[in-house]
């Protein structure tokens, strides 16, 4: 597993499965879904809306190799709620890995949890590394986590 800074060239990830945040507009879901896979704004908005309304991760597979986690982890967690949020975030990562094992069958995974130009909060980077090492070692050949 590699942890690296976000680069300017997103084209190198075109054939990877992307795990990102369910947010549209000036967002990574729009970059990967719209720019890379030609998905329309309406489809991306509906997908992000469903993920956020259910408050559970979802996938665009097989239409596009993209899955997303609810944006609340990155936009709506207040002081004092971090521990419960990280535990639920980890649970949802494990669920994504189960879906990947059973249906998606991703072998290369790019995890890009940016919702702004700021770095991804360390608590989510650490949780992602821990879950992927514990639950994803046999499922994935290659993982890149953008910090």
**Per-residue pLDDT, 8:** 55
Q: Which residue has the tokens 């800074």?
A: 5
What pLDDT does 79 receive?
64
pLDDT at 15: 84
Q: How many structural domains is the chain composed of? A: 1
- The CATH number assigned to the domain holding 57 equals 3.40.220.10
Cα 145 from Cα 121, distance rounded (Å): 13
Report pLDDT for 100. 96
Residues of the chain with pLDDT under 70: 4, 6-10, 77-80
pTM above 0.75, yes or no: yes
Where in the sequence is the domain holding 136, given as residue range(s)?
Answer: 2-146
pLDDT of residue 7: 65
Q: Please count the CA atoms within 13 angstroms of the CA of 138 that sit on its side-chain side.
A: 4
């Amino acid at each position: 597993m590699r942890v690296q800074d976000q680069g300017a060239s997103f084209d190198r990830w075109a054939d990877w499965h992307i795990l990102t945040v369910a947010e549209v507009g000036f967002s990574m879901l729009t970059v990967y879904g719209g720019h890379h896979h030609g998905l329309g704004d309406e489809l991306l908005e509906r997908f992000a809306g469903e993920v956020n309304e259910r408050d559970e991760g979802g996938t665009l597979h097989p239409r596009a190799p993209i899955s997303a986690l609810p944006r609340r982890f990155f936009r709506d967690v207040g002081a004092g709620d971090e521990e419960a949020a990280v535990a639920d975030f980890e649970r949802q990562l494990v669920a994504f890995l189960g879906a990947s094992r059973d249906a998606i069958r991703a072998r290369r995974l790019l995890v890009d949890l940016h919702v702004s130009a700021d770095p991804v909060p360390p608590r989510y980077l650490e949780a992602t590394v821990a879950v992927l090492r514990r639950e994803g070692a046999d499922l994935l050949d290659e993982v890149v986590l953008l910090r």
